Chain A
Amino acid sequence: MQPILRVAGLTKSFIVHAHGDLALPVLKDVALAVSPGECLALVGPSGAGKSTLLRSLYGNYRADKGSIRVRHGEGWTELVGAEPRTVLDIRRRTIGFVSQFLRVIPRVATLDVVAEPLIGLGASQQEARDRAEFLLALLNVPQRLWALPPATFSGGEQQRVNIARSLIVDYPILLLDEPTASLDAGNRDRVIEMIAERRNAGSAIVGIFHDIGVRDLLANRVHEVVPGGVA
């Protein structure tokens, strides 16, 4: 199978101006490729730059140099240095991201938080809400919570809302940052099942999974991230 995501020479450092322009090199010349149906686990010690790499793949962090090419629609699109509207279009249609924490939007009901990405793709309100209800039920988020904004939910509930929001669109590429970190065993198994289903259906997945059991169940390959990019 041909890759759907190709990374080459990816280099990223942070410059902290408040501390005498201190340079913190994080990624150096990272290369990887992921194909549909594959799940690549990023591994390495805490602080090695796994999250930085994952966020760079989403266009959230800006690479210093290198290339992140994504199969987007009919052709390939370069994410490094892309125009904001190009990045947004890639996020709308091609790449989904499950972060560790939900960014809560004041006053917006859980059901609408989950439904939003599908509406952004042109689905009707009804269609998107039906799908959101289905996912929330599958993830054991109690129905009495659906009309409430998730601000007051527990960590595990918020994470499941977040997962539902990211899985409501069938993204060809999924980026996962510790998708099961604050879940109990039952919910963790359900989430693993749902992600495996996406992988088997042909999504390309890149993820950070600290739980080795989760990693073994989902990943086909690992990519080692080296601290400071120095091998």
Chain B
Amino acid sequence: MTENTDKLEQERNESWRAELRNSMPMKDRVAIERVKMNEIPPEERIKSQTCEVNTGLTEEQAVLEAKRCMDCPKPTCIEGCPVNINIPKFIKNIERKNFAAAAATLKDYSSLPAVCGRVCPQEKQCEAKCSYLKMKKEPVAIGYLERFAADYERTSGNTQIPKINAPNGIKVGAIGSGPSSLSFAGDMIKLGYDVTVFEALHAIGGVLKYGIPEFRLPNAVVDAELDNLARMGVKFEKNFVVGRTASFEDLKEAGYKAFYVGSGAGLPNFMNIPGENLNGVMSSNEYLTRVNLMCANCDDTDTPVMHGKVVAVVGGGNTAMDSVRTAKRLGAERAIIIYRRSREEMPARLEEVKHAIEEGIEFLNLHNPIEYLPNAEGRVAKVRLQKMELGEPDASGRRKPVPIEGAIEEIDIDIAVVAIGVSPNPLIPACLKGIKVTRKGTIEVCEETMQSALPEIFAGGDIVRGGATVILAMGDGRKAASAMHDYLSKK
């Protein structure tokens, strides 16, 4: 999907861009300090599960931050973005205060910019490749600016609906309603297809709804994007488990010509250590689903969630961070991360770790649970921890944690949340005869087209990658849409 450099060059040479570049000396641009995101103070925000921590940039802040971007002749930032957003183009539109054009630029590449601006691990992607880093300065706040432009459009009340081709009457189905299927659906509806998204749960959005908490990604942001898709003509079928409610054969009989499988990696991993099935030990998926999908923390809902004074969360990724910060918001006196590597190696977004520290989350790094111990009623009361040290680098390049012999300690806990990763949901692969799956249970596809061994089945997102990011899942959906269009056009 890399755009050819000629087009980038051409756009960069448009007169308004050239004028903008010349309107301010480079040394003045680089002298500007990187903008600080406006935030709700920690002591206030931990009182609510739904209060968004980041409140966004003001117009002045955004325009000033946009001025920092040097509109580089070789914009390496674009290479860092998995969907190759034309970053300088959207940022320069912010600088000249044409926010609608900035939003439109984003929409050319990403169907969920308001989401990605909030949840992308920018420090590993676009911002990691910004030229500022070579000057030992902080990168341009690409994520904040992306969020600004997308929010501006959403709150302006006149969201642009992209141009849609005349309906071609060809039915295609997307399985799952996470970011991957949603971006697939957005592209296919634009091409004129008759698109239906099937979702097993009673809410649309996948992890964006049941996993990522509202203090990081408000439901209203996701719902606005879903609204757009519905206005464009995408149909949604909730409470529909493909392979169960109806089989692929049933759907083919009903006229569906091809499918995109975006069923995610919903199966929670456990460590298989003694005591893991005690009451009070649960997966992060269970904990977060109860709170985020079922609003178990609200007084007027029926779903319960356990409350505890001391909540231990095992893991170091975004899911662990979301769980531990949720525990804090549900009133835990101590909310503790237990992670077997050091803090530098935690895969979570940097910003989440920073926010967690501000909120008083405790970090027990280089500790690994080996057993949960019950109280008299059979509920978890203690966790036994093996202390670790860092050894040689492993296959991932990170230094491998190794147990320190005999260094074992126990801490008192009321709840343990296991957030050590997920595996692909096996349902779909199991009901597609002839599909190829890897040892890990992910669906094998052609990297270029996302087409599986069954020509009418395409797949992407976590079911192919086994747990990745929102933007990668979206990129897959777009690639699959364009390849499926080719495939169906030739048929």
A and B part of one assembly: no
